[in-house]
Every structure is written in structure tokens, then in C-alpha cells.
Amino acid sequence: MGTPEFAVASLKYLINENYNVIGVITGIDKKRGRGRKIQFSPIKKFALKNKLKVYQPNNLKDINFLNTIKSLNPDLFVVVAFRMLPEVLINIPKYGCINLHSSILPNYRGAAPINWVIINGEKQTGVTTFFINKKIDEGDIIDSEKVLISSYETAGTLHNKLMKIGADLVTKTVKNVFNENYSRKKQIISNNHKIAPKIDRNLCEIDLDLKANEIVQLVRGLSPYPGSRLRFNDKIYKIINCKLANKNINSESTMFVDNNKLYFNNNRGHSLEITEIQAEGKKIMKSSEYLRGNKL
């Protein structure tokens, strides 16, 4: 069960290890892009290419869908970047239902752990496999793998790193579950554990009252998608990457050019150099490339 690119690696690894994948469950097809054309999810594209049966229920509690899945007599459900499952579905497989989560649980439970660990300036994160129960990301932990976060990490680079490490952990976990060679660690959750809620539009608006390093973390944590936004001269610019400037530059303008480099200042008098930008209606560009053909 999965939908985005993050889930494809795990499915690919399982196929390469010759596991008998009897079906793939994903979301319904949606209209995407400027042309609003129907597009298949990455996991559906991969499944069809590999001649796997695809199921796309509107409702995971639909009786016909549940009966179809029960008739397959599945041993195990493997869930990667999907959605909350109803208890009636969780209880179908012989060995249960495992999930890959892109953080070290119980920290950063929720929809956007990859974004939030960078936004919050964490030094390490990782991936966790656990048995799904009726509470989101709170089931018994099976295994985990820690990963260091570099000072230049973006959500995009960390996503790709965790996708591969996670796929390897999923394969290891599936093997151990089938061999009944694993332990279950109950999650003890406290108020000290951080959560990772879905990213909303308000968070994407750069708050210039933040400290400069907090802005850098926010920008990188939202890069390349959905992208942090800076309003300037009645236009919206997506700041895809930035760094602390070597010096603070006095400017009456929030966003400005100095010595052929693009900057913006926060409300604390600190300058940040924009290294990648996306103007309205344009592609993501290095700032040097943008300045060659555009003016603020």
C-alpha cells in the first residue's frame, strides 16, 4: 500500500528479493498539473509496469473491496506513505500489517517528518518499521535505522536518502517477520516527543521576524516542495535554498541585489543569500541564472 515515489523503492526491493507481491493498493487517479489531466500515482505506474494487480478503492471500508482483499488470503500488508487504515482492514493478513515511517519513532509522528526534522534543526533522523494499530504511528516498533542530517540537507535530499535506507529496512523487516525473528517494542509516548503535522500554507510564508538560521532551516525543510514563499513588490517568489550571508547588508528593500548576488533581510537586520529561486510562472533556477535574465 502506497502512493508517492517514496513507496516505489520499497516495492522494487521486495520484487527484487522475489517476494510474491499479490497486489498493490493505492489512491484513486487524480487530475494533476496545468492541463488537469488524469495521472497515475508513481506506485501505480511502477506496479502496472511490473504486471502487478492494482486496487484503488474509494473507501477502504467498502465491503466489496474488503471481500476482494480477504479472498487473496494475504500473509502481510506492507504500507509505505499511504493513509490511515481502518481496523477491519488491518486485521486481515496472517502476519499483520507493517508500516515504514520516515523518522525514529516515537519522535515526529505524523504526515511530514522529513520536512519537520530540518525545520527544527535536528542533527539526526532515520526510518522505523512498526506494526500498524488503530492509532496513527503509535504501533509496536520492529526495527529502525538512524541517519545523520548534514548542515546543507534539504527535504528533497533527505527524502531520497531515507527512501533507499527505508526500502532496505522494509525488506529486512519483511524477512524477519516471515521468519518470526523479530521483537516488538511498545512505544512510550510523552509530551516531550515532537510531532510532524501536515505542512500548511501559512508555514510556507517566510516569517521575517524569525532568526536568520531559523529561516534557513525553514527554507531547506520546505525545499523543493512545497517551497517557502517570500512576497516582494506584489509578486510571490519561492525561495528554494538560501544560506546565511557572510556579512549583513544594509538595505531598505526586503529583497535586493548586491554584487551580483540575490539577498533578503529579516526584521532583525540579518542578511540571507538566496542560492536557488523560483519566480511566478518560471522554473527553479540558480540565483545567478535568474539575475542574468530578470530584474526584481
**Per-residue pLDDT tens digits of the chain, which is 296 residues long:** 999 999 999 999 999 999 999 999 999 998 777 677 888 999 999 999 999 999 999 999 999 999 999 999 999 999 999 999 999 999 999 999 999 999 999 999 999 999 999 999 999 999 999 999 999 999 999 999 999 999 999 999 999 999 999 999 999 999 999 999 999 999 999 999 999 999 999 999 999 999 999 999 999 999 999 999 999 999 999 999 999 999 999 998 999 999 999 999 999 999 999 999 999 989 999 999 999 988 88
Residues 153 and 208 in one domain: no
Structurally, how many domains does the chain consist of? 2
Q: Rounded CA gap, 278 and 296, in Å?
A: 12
What's the domain range around 280? Answer: 201-293
Whether residues 95 and 229 fall in one domain? no
Burial class of residue 175 (count of CB atoms within 10 Å of its CB; 0-12, 13-18, 19+):
middle
Domain assignment of residue 190, yes or no: no
- At position 131, the amino acid (one-letter code) is F
The DSSP string of 238-269 is: EEEEEEE-SS----SSSEEEETTEEEEE-TTS
Q: What is the CATH number of the domain that holds 138?
A: 3.40.50.170
Is residue 26 a part of any domain in this protein?
yes
Give the integer Cα–Cα distance in Å for 260 and 40.
42
Looking at the structure, tell me whether residues 169 and 214 fall in a common domain. no
Q: Which of 178, 213, 245 is the last residue of a domain?
A: 178
Residue 59, in any domain of the structure: yes
Q: Are residues 105 and 142 in the same domain?
A: yes
Terminal C-alpha separation, the chain: 45
- List the grid coordinates of 25: 493498493
Is residue 113 located within the same domain as residue 243?
no
How many CB atoms are closer than 10 A to CB 209?
A: 10
- Do residues 41 and 174 both lie within one domain? yes
Residues 151, 227 share a domain: no
Residues 6+ apart with CB under 8 A from 293: none
Residue 242, strand partner residues: 274
| CA atoms within a 13 Å half-sphere pointing along the CA-CB vector of 213 | 4
Domain-located, residue 81: yes
- Same domain for 72 and 218, yes or no, is no
Q: What is the CATH number of the domain that holds 247?
A: 3.10.25.10
Do 73 and 214 reside in the same domain of the chain? no
Query: Is the model's pTM score more than 0.85?
Result: yes
Tell me how crowded residue 37 is: count the other CB atoms within 10 A of its CB: 8
| 236 and 107 in a common domain | no
